Structure 1
C-alpha cells in the first residue's frame, strides 16, 4: 500500500560539444599549419607547423588517452610561448580545457578556457576559436546547473558569430545547435515556441547545404540535434529515425565513441517517452558497453546511463534494481559536482523506497526532488534566460529603431508640408481613439472586478451552505445520540432490571436458561446502543483530542472485526480547533466504514501527521479497490468526505488499484481553519 504521486518527467537531450570540437576546427588547423615563424633551438619545437601537427595529434588522443593528450598540449603550449605564437598558445590551452573537462576537473577546465581566450588572435580563425571557447564554458556551467552563466556564454558565441560575419556552415551549426540544445533542456514547452522554430529553420537550411556538398560529418551533427528536438516535442518515431541516421554516419566516419554513447542514450529516452522501459534498457546497456571500463568510474555519460536505468526499472516497479542502479550513480554525481539529472535520481529513489514501504527514505528523496524542481526557481530561471535572449536581440532592435527614426524624420518632413486642418483632424482622431481606449480599459477592469466579486461570493455561499449542512448533521447526530442514550438506553436498563427481578422471583430449573439467554440479549443490545451513541457523539474527542480518539476508535473497530488496523501519529500532537478535529474524526470514521462495508480488506493503515499549518490524514487498505473510472466509482461516502475537506480549504487524493487496495490522502488547512474560528 502506498500513495502514488503524479509528477511528469521531461527527458533531456544530451550535449555532445566535446565530440564536435575536432570537427569544428579541422579546417582551422589546416589553415594554420603552413604559417612558419622564427626557429628556436633547444628541446622545444622550432616552428609553428610542428606545433600545429602536435596539437592535431593531441586532438586525436583527447578522448581515448587523455593523459597523453595533456602532455602533448603542454609541450605545444610551452613551444608556442617561446615563439610568441598566439594561435598555438590559444589552441593548446583550449585543448587542455577540453581534456580536464573530460576528466571532470571543472575548475581546471574553466581556468584553461579563460587563458585561451586571452591569446585568441584578432582574425577570422581567432574569432571562431573564441566562439568555440564560449560554447565550451557554457557546457561546463550547464553540467554544474549554472544556467545563467550557461545561457550567457551561448549567446556570447552567437554574438561573436554574427558580429564578425563567421560564415562557415560548420561554425554556424555548432553555435545554433548549442542554443537549441540549451532550450531543449530548460524549456517546459518548446512545441510552439517561435524563437526555437527560427533556430530549427536555420539548421534545416544548413542541412540543405550539407546534403548538396555531401558533407557527412556536418549531417551527422545535424541528425543528432534533430533527434533531440523531435524527442522533446513528443515525436519519438521521428527522433529515432534521426538517431539511427546519426549512428550510421558515425560508424561510416569512425566518429568519437561519445557520439554513439549519447545517441544510444537518447534512443532509450524515446522509448521511455513511449512507456516501453524494456526497449529503453536495451539501448542503455548498449551505451554502457561502448564506454571503456577504465573510464566508467568518473565518466558523466556512465552516470547518466545508470540514472536512466534506474528510471526504467522504477517504471517496471522493480524497486530494488531501481535503487541499486540509482544510488551509486547519484553519489558519484554529487562527488563530481555534476548537478545535471540529479533531480531525476531523487525522484526515482523516492518512488522506489515508497514502493518498498520505506516511507521515511522516500520522503527524504521527495524533499530533495522538490527543492531541485521548485516551480518558483524554474520560473525565475526561465525569466532570466528570456532576459538573456532579449539582451542578445538588442543590437538587432537598435538597427530597427535607427531605421524607424529615419523613416519618422521623413514622415515628419512630409507632415509639416501638409495642411493644418489635416493635422488637427488627425490629432483629434488620435485623441478620440485614446479616450475610447481608456474608457474601454476602465470598463473592462470594472467588469473583471465585478466578475471576481461574483465568483468569490458564490464560493462563500457554497462554503456557507456546506458548513450549515455539516453543522445541521452534527446537531442531528448529537440529538439522536442523546435520545438513544437517555431514552432507549434508559428503557433497556429498566427492562433489564425488571427481568432480573422476575428471574429471581420465578427462578426454576425450567425457566433458568430462558432468563439467562434473555439477560445476555439485553446486555448485548445495551452494549451496541452505547457504541452507536458514542460514535454519533464521541465524548472522548472533546476530552482527549483527535489523536487519542482516533486510536480508541480504530482499536474498537479492530476488536469487533477481522481487520488488522495500524494507527500512526506523526508530528507535534496538539489540540486543534473543534471543527478541524470533528471533521478529521468524521472523515476517519467514514473511511473505516467504507473499508468494512465494501473493501473486503484484511489490513488497514490510519496515519495522522500534524504539521504547522496542515493536518494530513492517510487511510490505506489492501482490499479489492474501487471500481474502474466511469462506473460510478465514487459513492456518497467519498463525496461527503470531499465536501467536509472543502470546508477547511482541504483536498482529497484517491489512488486505487483493483485487487490491490485503495489509498486516500487528505490535507486540511489549519491556518484557514483557525481564521474561520476567529471569524465565527
Structure 2
C-alpha cells in the first residue's frame, strides 16, 4: 500500500511540474484547481496504450471547433497518458491541439506557449518531423492573429525548410505547407493577381492538384481546392471560386470534412455572391456556415464573427440598415476583443460606416470610417515587411522553381521515353494483331475451300451414284426390252404357230374321244399366249412409249383390277410434259413395284394411285388400306430398296407413312422442267 501511495503522489508531482513548465512560456498561468480537475481523470489510466492515446487525441480533434472546452479536457488526458507511456510524439500532438483550442478562445499567448513546448517533444522520426512541420504552421497562425506578420512568415518558411532539408516528398505535408504560404500572401497583399510570389506558389499548388488527382487523394485535393477557391475569390473570378468551393464541399461529404474548413468554404462562396452584388444567396450560405457551430457558444470563433460581418454587408446591399447594424456591431466588438486587426475588423468598420451613414447617423458613420482608414493604413505597413523579405523570398522561390524545372524536365524526358516505349509496344502489338488477323482470315479461307472441296466431292459422288443408278436402270430396261421382244417375237410366234396347227388338226381329225382333250390343250395355249403378251407388255409397255405415263399407268391399274380382287383407283391431276421417256419409264416401274407390293404383302381391299403435276414438280402417291408395315420393313425390304434407288436416280424425295393395321401411304416428289405452261385438269378412273 505504501508503494502504491508513493507512486500516486509521484505521478501528481510530475503532472504539476509539467503544467508549470507548460504555463511559464509567456509568464502566464492557469489556476491550480483547473489543472487538477483536467488531469485528475487521466492519472488512473494505468492500462492505457499508444493506440488508446491516438484515439483520444483524434476524438479531441473532432471537437476543437464545436466544443472547445471538451476538446481541452481530452487533450490534457491524452497528454498525461502519453507522458506515462513516454510517447513524446503523443505529447507534442496533445500540446499542438491545445494550442489550436487556445487560438479559438483568443488566448494566443497560451497557444504560443503550448506550441513552443511541443517542439521539444517531437521525436527524431517521420512522425516527429511531420509534427514539427505542423507546429511551425500553427505558430505562424498564432503570430498572424497577433499581428506579427514577420514572425508568421518566418515560421511558414521554417516549415518549408524542414521539408527541403529532409527531402520530404509526402504530398499531404507539401500541401499543408504550400497552402499555408498561399494563405499568408493572399491575406497580406492587395495586388494579388500580379504578385510573383503568389503566382509561383500557385504553380506548386497546381502540380500538387495534378498529383492528388492521379493518386485519387481526396483529402489532399479537398484542401488544395479550398485554397484555390480562396485565390480565385481574391482575384474576383467568382465562377471559378464557386466551382472549387462546391467541389471541395462535395469531397468533404466522403472524407468527414472539419467544421472549420466547411465553414470557410461556405463563407468564401458567400463572398463571391457579395462581390456580384447578389446578397440573397450570400445570406443563405452564411447561415449554413454559422449553423456548423453551437449557437450558444460563449466565445464565438473567427468563422462565426466573419459570417456575421458578411451578413451585415449583405443587409446593407438590401438597404436593411438597422439589421446590418444589429448583426455587425456585436461581431465587430468580438473581433476587437480578440485583436483581429486584419480584414475582419476592416470589413466590419466599413459595413457599420455605410449603415450609419444610410440611416443619417453621420457622426457614428465618420467614427467607423476613420477606424477603417486607420486599419487600412496599418495594413499597408505590411509592404515594408514584403521589402524586408523580398530578396530572401525571391531566392527561395527561384531555387524552388529551378528545382521544379529540373524535375519537370526529368519528368518530360521520362514521359518522352515512356511515350516512345508505348509507341513501340503499340506498333509491335498492332503488327502481331495484324498477323493474327491475317492468319485467322487465311485459316477461314482454307477452311472454306476445304468445305467447298468436300461439298464438290460429295456432289460428284452423288452424281456418280445417280449416273450408276441411271446406267443400271437403263441396262435393266434394255434387258427387259430385249426379253420382251424375244418373248413376243420368239415364244409368242411359236405359241401362235402351235395354236394354229393344233386348231387345223382339231378340225381335220376330230373324234368324239379326243374332242375334249383338244379343247383343253387349245384353251391352255390361249392362256399361255395371253400371259406371254402380258409379260411382254409389262417388260416393255408399248402404250407408255406411245401415249405417255398417265395412259400407261391407267391401263396398268385397269389390268390389275380385272385380274385381282383389289379395288384400285387411278387419279391424274394436271398435264405431264416435263419428263423424258426414260424418266417416265422409271416412274412407271416405281408405280408397278409399289402396286405389286400391295398385291403381295398388304392384303388390302382398296388402293389409290395418284399422279399430280404442280408447275415444276411431279408428285406420285400410292395408298392402301392394308396391313401396313413395320418400321424395319420400311428400310430393309429389297423392293423398297429398289424403289429408293430409282427415286434417287431422278433426284426425287421419298416419304413413307405406315400404321400397322391401317394401311400405307407412299409419296414421291420429283422436280421437272416445263417448257410450256400446262393446263390443269382433274381426271379420275375407277379401274
Q: TM-score scaled to structure 1, two decimals? A: 0.50
Q: TM-score scaled to structure 2, two decimals? A: 0.49
Larger Rg: 2
